[in-house]
Amino acid sequence: MLTTWPHAPVHKMDAGGIYMVTAGTYQKEHFLWEPATRTYFCSLLFETMLKYGFELQAWAVMSNHYHMIVQVPDQNTSLRTALSELHRSSALHFNRTDKQPGRKFWYNFWDSQITFQKSYFARLHYVHTNPVHHGIVANAALYPHCSYTWFIQNTPEVFQKHDFADGFKQNKRD
């Protein structure tokens, strides 16, 4: 019996819930190298998630990939559509700006629905500290293209002190 082997991740985004999404650029090219390109992409990410009624809970945009945690309402299960629009419109913009029509910009995206609180906190920590993990900054609060500073400024301190937050507390002291 032959088993099919997908050439891309299976996207099971057919229900509301909280998802972690990671997307990478084609051949891991650093297309978002300039801070202005990351700023533009962040703006487009916020606009697209808002347009579809999704709650963006965490994000980190690097030069060749991004991560986000997003809550999708039960009555609106079009995360795949939102991601397609985000990738299509950002690729068109950057290809036009770079005078590279038709260039393949995004490679693929990976998603997983988060169903356990401990998993949520671990992934939240991962997204917020991704710029530190990649050696871009020593403190996530110094990186303008992730949600760490927003998180510290806008969430109750009791939430920040949760067991998962050792990395947050460390970054906050630095």
Answer yes or no: pTM beyond 0.85.
Answer: no
Q: pLDDT tens-digit profile of 13-32? A: 556 899 999 999 999 999 99
Give the separation between CA 159 and CA 119, rounded to whole angstroms.
Answer: 15
Place domain 17-173 in its CATH homologous superfamily: Transposase IS200-like (3.30.70.1290)
121 or 166, greater pLDDT: 121
The residues spanned by each domain of the chain are 17-173
Q: pLDDT tens-digit profile of 117-137? A: 889 989 999 999 999 999 999
